[in-house]
Structure 1
């Protein structure tokens, strides 16, 4: 079965390495780097909608059959959009820590982010941020390298799309298997977002994961792999 792992903003496909160690060898795992990130740092990030359309085109052309899509944070929003817009391509979807309620004062948030963005390219600051994001020591240099290549424009555009995201109109009609997760220690609006996604699609499974913040794939990769295996059985 094809399984597409869609990373969050500010990281890259390497963030899935801990999870991949526990996934069944028979799964055909596809791990893209989104535009502006990791191995795709040279490709301009235009918008979340464009990235979703590009991923849809890739799956139609290169896979050609229904996939399981697992998304984290910004990537989870893409997974929701893909399931909503192309349900024929998505047999299962796992939505991990997706914000689904627009932030208050987005202009202020984006202004502060643009001013602080150059700090992300400093190795010392990046290493400090990595600890807060639950990046394990063996992936620390991957995070630093990704941060050093992340442009201010990409960072601001990603965050802008992230904090303005709302539940797509097609989500309640998704007929595949859906799993919605958030960490117990995440901020309240993230857990509210998970519940909003579940309420919009009552056939989905909802879990608030104990002892986790905004980093379930990195904090509890073995648990997550077991949960995905159960969903995809």
Structure 2
């Protein structure tokens, strides 16, 4: 089963946090501290951190691993929060194990494949090896607003995920496609994106909002893919509001239809 960290296990509602590629469950430490009125569960996802031995094959299998963890908690359906890779995995959890999730908040993912050239795929493939360098990993983390260098490495400076895992995840993310069947996802879901994110992610917001029966989309003005790290207070406020069914923060920008 996936390794995980938890806090405040006696709280009534549980949030399961799903991290981005290259990190592990430690990235949610600040969010868990701010959301101390929830039981916060922060797993290391397959191929990452202390779950490194669990191979990444696809996002469906990864979602099944999360489902196993959620089932082991033995409580009511959980709230789900995902960033980037965590959003892809979380979305597949809604499709495959909807009974386990009460509501969800996902940020930084697209609903259909991103078209890139063979050359670009090759460059992305080559860049995965750069993550073996601690200096490059820390540079990547800072670009996402994460300033704690310890979050991108394990003990002894080893990367949280191998270059092979990073290549696999990049490929799966580029090819991710849930454009057909959105109507079947009935979980109450909030999808978010920073205003300066990749166009494919931004264009997915109205499609997800109109395609899913209980989906709301919002844009975070002026920020990018790592807005959760640069605006932790806003993120915590957003999660608390959504999971407690209260009005969302006014700073979030509504998404209009295509």
* TM-score of the two chains, using structure 1 as the length reference: 0.90
Q: Is the 8 A contact 1:182 1:190 kept in 2?
A: yes
Cα distance in 2 for partners of 1:151, 1:221 equals 28
Match of 2:163 in 1: 152
Q: Per the alignment, in what secondary structure is the counterpart of residue 165 of structure 1? A: coil
Q: Is the 8 A contact 2:112 2:179 kept in 1?
A: no
The equivalent position to 1:15 in structure 2, one of 13, 27, 30, is 27
Deviations along 1:145-176, one digit per CA (max 9) or x if unpaired, are 48724222211111111111112655423333
Q: Is the 8 A contact 1:13 1:33 kept in 2?
A: yes
- How many residue pairs match? The answer is 230
Q: CA deviation at 1:35?
A: 1.4
Cα distance in 1 for partners of 2:122, 2:199 equals 23
Q: Per the alignment, in what secondary structure is the counterpart of residue 242 of structure 2? A: helix
Match of 1:2 in 2: 14
1:192 aligns with 2:203: yes
Match of 1:140 in 2: 149
Distance 1:141 1:152, change over 3 A: same
Unaligned runs of 5+ in 2: 1-12, 245-258
Unaligned runs of 5+ in 1: none
Deviations along 1:178-232, one digit per CA (max 9) or x if unpaired, are 1110001112221112222212115312110113200122121111111111112
CA RMSD of aligned residues (A): 2.0
Deviations along 1:37-80, one digit per CA (max 9) or x if unpaired, are 12222332222111111211222233342111111111111111
Q: CA deviation at 1:91?
A: 0.7
Q: Per the alignment, in what secondary structure is the counterpart of residue 205 of structure 1? A: strand
1:45 aligns with 2:56: yes
The 5 A counterparts of 1:67-216 are: 67-105=78-116, 107-136=118-147, 139-145=148-154, 148-167=159-178, 169-216=180-227
Cα distance in 2 for partners of 1:60, 1:37 equals 21
Distance 1:150 1:110, change over 3 A: farther
